[in-house]
Structure 1
Amino acid sequence: ALKYFSETTQNDAPVVQLCVKSRPWAIQYSSTLLWDDDKIMACVASVDGLPALKYASKRLRACTKLVRMAVQSNGLAIRFASEDLRADREIAQLATQNNPYAYPKAVRLLPREFRQNRQLLLEVLTRDGDAIRYCSSRMKSD
């Protein structure tokens, strides 16, 4: 519905927040100014982290609190996190702990050093053996 609202309404933070609570992907139709609003993007991240980080401002993609919330709700959101946060072990673990269908893809999005981390990969592989195809060659032979 947000797509069809006036530009004024798409800039209205309370209206946008109400819309994204039930339809997080509606954030793409809001004003780009709201993509830097901590409160709105946290609301999106609590429902589905993927649109939250996909549309978040560069500043918010580097916000540990928002990225942590986003990857907890959707591990694939790690793809849009800042480079530094993608390399954070705790965030990498959160990204691989949810959404059983996303495990293999989430592993593929991790930095190389995490794809070679035996403990982390064993946790992932116990949930989804298909994730092995994204492990490093060294880990596959181990």
Structure 2
Amino acid sequence: MNVYEYLLSYQIKPSVQRIAIMDYLLKHHTHPSIDEIYMALCQDIPTLSKTTVYNTLKLFVEHGAARMLTIDERNACFDGDISVHAHFQCKVCGRITDIPLSAEEPDEIKHMKKEGFQIEETHRYYKGICPECLKMNKN
């Protein structure tokens, strides 16, 4: 499925800016911030503004086509991978890495559902030091 069709599948009307922003999210699994996306695309789309990037990402999140991560209290970043997974942020280099989760629901989710809660989304964040930064600190 191309980006145009992907956006349509989430009931988002494709535009040049929306296609470019979603394409960037889907191709760059770096969990970019608004500024990073803007800087990456503004050369190719001179009419692009940070406000457009912000509003587009907000639209993507509202329609379920992307996720906003608030693992870092200072910056929101975005993920085009909407599959169920966790995130790990390195306290040294700041990089955010995807962590696969098992298909089985955690006990706390099962308990909440049993109690009648309707869970619509979850966020699982871990923080620590990544293997690369640990290697650098040992040298």
Relative to the length of structure 1, the TM-score reads 0.27
Normalized per residue, which structure has more strand?
2
Normalized per residue, which structure has more helix?
1
Q: Highest relative contact order (Cα 8 Å, sep 6+), 1 or 2?
A: 2
Relative to the length of structure 2, the TM-score reads 0.27
